[in-house]
Amino acid sequence: MAITIRDVAKAAGVSVATVSRVANGSANDYPVRPETRERVLEAIVRLGYRPNDNARRLLLKRSGLIGIVVPDISNPYYPEVARGVEDVANANGFTVMFCSTDRMPEKAASYLEALLLKRVDGLVIIGGGDEIQLSDSSVATYDTKVVFVGRPSKSFSTVRIDNVGAARDATEHLLALGHSRIGFIAAGTSSTTVTERRRGYIQAIEASGATVDDELIVDGDFSEAVGHAAAQRLLRLPDPPTAIFAANDRMALGAMAAIADLGLSVPQDVALVGFDDVPMSAFLRPALTTVSVAAQELGVRAMEALVKDINAADGRTVRRRIRVATRLIVRESCGATLHSSHGGLASPAVSSH
């Protein structure tokens, strides 16, 4: 027979009302003595009374909640990462709460405060921007575990890719196809992600023996519209680039439209490479050459690290530095297939970094 609230009350030697207050977390409104509360919680767990999960969380001083914070919900990359977090969280009995900051510091601060006040067991902070300011001391009071995805941190665990190496590989690929003037669409933010991708681009240019031309580096903002404007600016230079490398696929998509609007063709007139390999990239025509980031795996690895910290018997947090590999996916937009068909340099379909 199913265990009832009356069974719990009888086992704990208290009233049904007291069991209800403890099990539903309303003992703050109707004070229950600590020793009575512990007796009720132990009876709930021992008898297997529903809601058993809530009782265990109260007993273990856990909320069963994980907060996911992203900078821009409209960017298809971030939901992919969040999906990886959610899959592992659900498999381990956690419920996720999803927040998008729109890269606004005040909005980020408000969300973090709300999540911490709810005493979430863990926070996954996704994105390379600095709109989120978090320190050991700010979360210590709540015993909340934290993992950053996409940006470095001295205080918390991180799950990242090698942005510098991946961007260098993409630029070297274009150089190997014979392009000496390569435009780079960055982003006008302090994002460590874009800063590192810019560094990889510059390293490749300098390693080729060429001088970096600042005119060929234009800031965008991760969106299609600004990628479109940035590409037009590059292609209207007196000596325009013959190839463009965009720091994310959304800006590459905008650049592709700008190239067409100027009466040019990809890749015959302008080669194009993106970054992230969002789902639409393979379905563009021409299909987009891009750096593939295992977005879901980033989320999976982040949540796995959180689960280990949350379940640690000694309560200690391990600072983990996790790297996830990237791949350069060579499709039509870079012109590699044109070179191959004309007897020139043929690039591999996939190269790993």
d(CA 161, CA 294): 9
- For residues 155 and 168, state if they share a domain: no
Band of residue 21 on the pLDDT scale cut at 50, 70, 90 = confident
Residue 214 shares a structural domain with residue 343: yes
Q: How many domains does the chain have?
A: 3
Decide which of 353 and 347 is more confident: 353
- Cα–Cα distance, 337 to 353 (Å, whole number): 21
Residues 99 and 146 in one domain: yes
- Residue 346 predicted with pLDDT over 60: no
With CA atoms as reference, report the closest residue to 157 among 293, 294, 303, 295: 303
- Rounded to whole angstroms, the Cα distance separating 303 from 298 reads 9
Q: Quick one: 219 and 342 in the same domain?
A: yes
Structure tokens at 42: 């132990």
Residue 32 CA to its chain's centroid (Å)? 42
Of 13, 35, 60, the last residue of a domain is 60
Pick the closest to residue 142 from 109, 122, 119 (CA basis): 119
3 state SS of 99: strand
83 with 22, same domain? Answer: no
Residues 177 and 130 in one domain: no
Asked whether the predicted pLDDT for residue 142 surpasses 50, the reply is: yes
pLDDT of residue 59: 54
Q: What pLDDT band is residue 17 in, cutting at 50, 70 and 90?
A: confident
* One-letter amino acid for residue 199 of the chain: R
Q: Does residue 207 carry a pLDDT above 70?
A: yes
Task: Judge contact between 205 and 173, C-beta under 8 A.
Answer: no
80 and 52 in a single domain? The answer is no
The whole domain housing 129 covers 65-160+295-325
Confidence of residue 350 (pLDDT cuts 50, 70, 90): very low
DSSP 282: G
pTM of the full structure: 0.77
pLDDT category at 353 given cuts 50, 70, 90 is low
Whether 145 and 248 share a structural domain: no
Question: Is residue 208 located within the same domain as residue 302?
Answer: no
At residue 189, the pLDDT reads: 67
Q: Is the pLDDT confidence value at 53 over 80?
A: no
Distance CA 87, CA 157 (A): 19
Residues 70 and 190 in one domain: no
Task: Say how far apart CA 234 and CA 302 lie, in whole Å.
Answer: 38
CATH of the domain at 49: 1.10.260.40
Residues 336, 271 within the same domain: yes
Look up residue 243 and give its amino acid: A
- Are 155 and 22 in a shared domain? no
Mark residue 91 as left, alpha or beta (left: phi above 0; alpha: psi -120 to 50; beta: remaining).
alpha
